[in-house]
Amino acid sequence: MRLHVADHPLVAHKLAVLRDASTPSVTFRLLVDELVTLLAYEATRDVRVDTVEIVTPVATTTGVKLAQPRPLVVPILRAGLGMLDGMTRLLPSAEVGFLGMQRDEETLEAITYANRLPDDLSGRQCFLLDPMLATGGTLVAAIDYLTARGARDVTCVCLIAAPEGLAVVEKAVGERADVSVVVAAVDERLNEKAYIVPGLGDAGDRLYGVV
């Protein structure tokens, strides 16, 4: 597993506002969107491209275009949905799949309640979106879903990760797939309720309210 922590003052600034408990949902959603666009730039550094010939008004030259099959972006519902627009802004031709996952607050295990993914993901570059990499259970379950369908190249885009969750993902994925994690920050630890400290609270609730 490769870890990339986006080290940029704009990322740090936006994250600080997100962390602030007094930031209202409307601002929170806007900032998540902006932050993900910055993370998407890092996350797509190895996106596959093909060389193409182009005719400019002056000469013929070569450029690149995104290779086929198109990348697949998969937000993990519900909180990952808040990251979708920021990601597809940079990858407008990507296909979008969905995974509905929820953690059981007692066992902390991931429960899958919905999935809409292509059956065959061989050769596809996949981008999983989940704002909080806490215990790692949800992300490992999501990576399992994708690799069971043949994906071997998975980039996870998260806002904040806990060291405990990163260790779980690292141990679980092993050599099975080429997995990268791109985050805005790695925080201190998890608390007894498996929330990231200092974190930003419940990302889904802060995006969409307590429903």
Q: With contacts defined by CB under 6 A, how many residues of the chain interact with ligand URA?
A: 9
Cβ atoms within 10 Å of 157's Cβ, excluding its own: 29
201 annotated to a ligand binding site:
yes
Q: What is the largest CA-CA distance in the chain?
A: 65
Eight-class DSSP state of 82: G
Is the C-alpha dihedral spanning 97, 144, 208, 22 positive or negative? negative
Residue 57, exposed/middle/buried by CB under 10 A (0-12, 13-18, 19+)? exposed
155 in catalytic set? no
205 in catalytic set? yes
85 in catalytic set? no
Q: Which residues contact 140 (CB under 8 A, 6 or more apart)?
A: 110, 168, 169, 172, 173
* Segment interacting with ligand URA, rule: CB under 6 A, options 48-56, 69-77, 108-116, 198-206: 198-206
Interface with ligand URA, residue 134, by CB under 6 A? yes
Q: Which of 99, 132, 183, 207 binds ligand URA (CB under 6 A)?
A: 132
185 annotated to a ligand binding site:
no
82 annotated to a ligand binding site:
no
CB 140 within 8 A of CB 172: yes
Question: Of the listed 56, 60, 107, 119, which one is catalytic?
Answer: 107
87 annotated to a ligand binding site:
no
Interface with ligand URA, residue 195, by CB under 6 A? yes
Name the site residues for ligand URA (rule: CB under 6 A).
79, 132, 134, 195-196, 199, 202-204
Query: Looking at the annotation, which residues are catalytic?
Result: 103, 107, 202, 205
